[in-house]
Amino acid sequence: MKPEILLLEPMMPEIEQQLDAAYTVHRHTPSATLAATLGDAAGRIRAVATGGGTGVPDAVMDILPALGLIAINGIGTDAVNLDLARQRKVHVTTTPGVLTDDVADMAMGLILSLLRGLPAGDRYVRAGEWGKAPGPTLGRKVSGRKLGILGMGHVGQAIARRAGAFGMPVAYTDLRDLNLEGYRFIPDLAALAADSSILVVAASGGAGSRHLVSRQVLDALGADGFLINVARGSVVDEQALSSALEAGTLGGAGLDVFEHEPVVPESLRTSPRTVLQPHRASATVETRLAMGDLVVRNLAAYFAGQTLPTPVI
């Protein structure tokens, strides 16, 4: 009898094949109820595999009495109640290291897309307007622009390294000064925003960082400033962001993540000042394979009673 697991978010076919070979996989889709997905299997589910944004709702943990492992296909743990997991003696694993470069690349991609107006240029050429109608408005120069980073962990530092190649002076804020050579530490986020032309959010989500990017921070970034978010939507006060973009008190925003995914406020969707992505900073073939491989290895170790490769708890 194969152990039974619950898959809350699809993974790459190559990875799902490996899961199917080792386990009876109950696949949940948002359109179904969990009761329908699980049938009479709830009591037999010993592990859940899920995405960083999807996590595991408390109500799902509550109906799985035999749960022993939550394997997150990502690095964010904010959508899993770690206190409850600890109480229940449920292990939680993530996929550290393998997605850092992709997320940093996405941050740079959003910066270039937003400031150089790449989506507008693409639409103009595709529509056959070149030579017939005036082209998109001029972009803004990226090289040399001052960059502020909120959250100088692995992803933040990978963004800083890339920014170096663009000749961008980098400052950052974090819970403490990390004494990083070449990057200025500015403890106060509003002061960092005031000092920056582009502010990139690379901080973890969760209660501690909720709405850190407030109206005041957006005001400090200013009409000539740009916000990039490749971390979690919850870090930014999305209503304040929408208002600032509408009022023109913020220059623009490049967003891969949102407060209530997959719902994106209409004002952000229709704004000429935004470039938007559907939470896909780690979504490359190479990285999703590497992430999936870690999920597979964590599951295998758990069911073999071995040390977990990349545990959080």
Residue 279 interacts with ligand 8YV (CB under 6 A)? yes
Based on the shown chain and the rule CB under 6 A, indicate whether residue 9 belongs to the binding site for ligand 8YV: yes
* 4 is a site residue for ligand 8YV (CB under 6 A): no
Q: Is 18 in the site for ligand 8YV (CB under 6 A)?
A: no
- Please pick, among 26, 28, 232, 288, the residue that the annotation labels catalytic: 232
Specify whether 232 is catalytic.
yes
Query: 3-state DSSP call for residue 170?
Result: strand
> 155 and 103 in contact (C-beta within 8 Å)?
yes
Task: Give the count of residues interacting with ligand 8YV (CB under 6 A).
Answer: 11
> Applying CB under 6 A, which of residues 7, 18, 48, 52 lies at the interface with ligand 8YV?
52
| Interaction pattern, residues 93-132, with ligand 8YV; x per rule: CB under 6 A | ------x---------------------------------
Asked if 225 is part of the footprint of ligand 8YV (rule: CB under 6 A), the reply reads no
d(CA 11, CA 51): 9
- Binding status of residue 76 toward ligand 8YV by CB under 6 A: yes
Assign 237 to helix, strand or coil. coil
Q: Considering the complex, what minimum distance in angstroms separates the CB of residue 269 from ligand 8YV? A: 20
Question: What is the C-alpha separation between 275 and 116, in angstroms, rounded?
Answer: 11
Judged by DSSP in three states, 162 sits in helix
Entry field: residues in the chain: 313
Helices (H), the chain: 13-22, 34-38, 58-62, 82-88, 100-116, 118-126, 154-165, 189-195, 215-221, 238-247, 266-270, 285-303
Which is the catalytic residue, given 26, 91, 145, 279? 279
Q: Which one of the spans 51-59, 105-113, 173-181, 218-226 is the region binding ligand 8YV (CB under 6 A)? A: 51-59
279 is catalytic: yes
- Nearest distance in Å: CB 11, ligand 8YV: 9
Q: How far is CA 154 from the centre of its chain?
A: 13
- What is each CA distance from 140 to 78, 118, 132, 253, 276, in whole angstroms? 35, 11, 24, 13, 18
| b/e map 176-195, b = 16+ CB within 10 Å | eeeeeeebeebeebbebbbb
**Residue 261 annotated as catalytic:** yes
Q: Which amino acid is at 26?
A: H
Which listed residue (4, 60, 74, 229) binds ligand 8YV by CB under 6 A? 74
Going by their DSSP bridges, the two strands 45-51 and 170-173 should be labelled as unpaired
User: Of the two residues 9 and 174, which places its CB atom closer to ligand 8YV in the complex?
Assistant: 9
Least distance (Å) between residue 43 CB and ligand 8YV? 27
By CB under 6 A, which span of 49-57, 195-203, 211-219, 305-313 interacts with ligand 8YV? 49-57
Would you name the residues annotated as active-site residues?
232, 261, 279
Binding site for ligand 8YV (CB under 6 A): 9, 51-53, 73-76, 99, 279, 282
